[in-house]
Structure 1
Amino acid sequence: MFEDLRNGKLRLPVSDLDRHGVTRADLEQGRDTPGARALISATASSARAALVESERIIGEVDPDYRPFLRYTLGVPHNVLDDVGTLGVAVIRRPYHDGKMANLRMMVRSRRMGTSTEAVAGRA
């Protein structure tokens, strides 16, 4: 989010900002307000719900592609875990995926093989 805001891009619906009493300036200036915290939390929760819902397709994909799909869906879970930890800091500094977390996700997805389960430890 930091990079987007810095480049003049706001990728959140204005209605969500309004709902939480947050202005674009609040985000651009990295203000740690109750509204900003609520907005980030609600956005992450919504993204997580959509991601979990998308995991339903794993069983419908050719078994050979399931490890890759599971990894592809697992990486955003890692990002959302980080957002939960970082909170408002995601609007204050650049974010970089954890390389080791992604590597662990890749290994875990591969070990799960052709099963129809979502990423281990996920819904």
Structure 2
Amino acid sequence: MRHRGQPITIDTLPASHERMRGTYSGETDDGCPFAIYVNSGQRRAGGNDLMRAHIRSLAQGRPMSHSDLYVQHDEIYILIGNQQRKDIRINANGSYGYGNIHGRTFKEMIVNVLEAFGPKPKTAPQSPAPSGPKPF
């Protein structure tokens, strides 16, 4: 694992990421280590966000305010084992997603990502077919 953080288990994950800050590390029941990074706050608005704020203020007939220069910023990602990070997005309806994996709550999303990208249990090898003359 690259990050050491506050210990967390699957059972203690909250339904929303809003009260979490920083790095959390844990381990699944199968023994797969994972780390969750959550950073929420405001950042300076970029060009596209500034243009939207400017158009919105023009439509409302008011000048741009100081609060228009900043936008809400949420950065959430999970590291599973030695894999690359999986950036989790927050959808407009409050659900979470990564690619085609979705979850209504933060806990559900983390469980779904761990199931999709975590190590798969190994199955017992099947015995080879009995050797003998092959029928033609």
Q: Which has the larger radius of gyration?
A: 2
Higher helix share: 1
Q: Which category of TM-score, normalised to the shorter sequence, fits these structures?
A: under 0.3
The alignment's TM-score, normalised by the length of structure 1, stands at 0.26
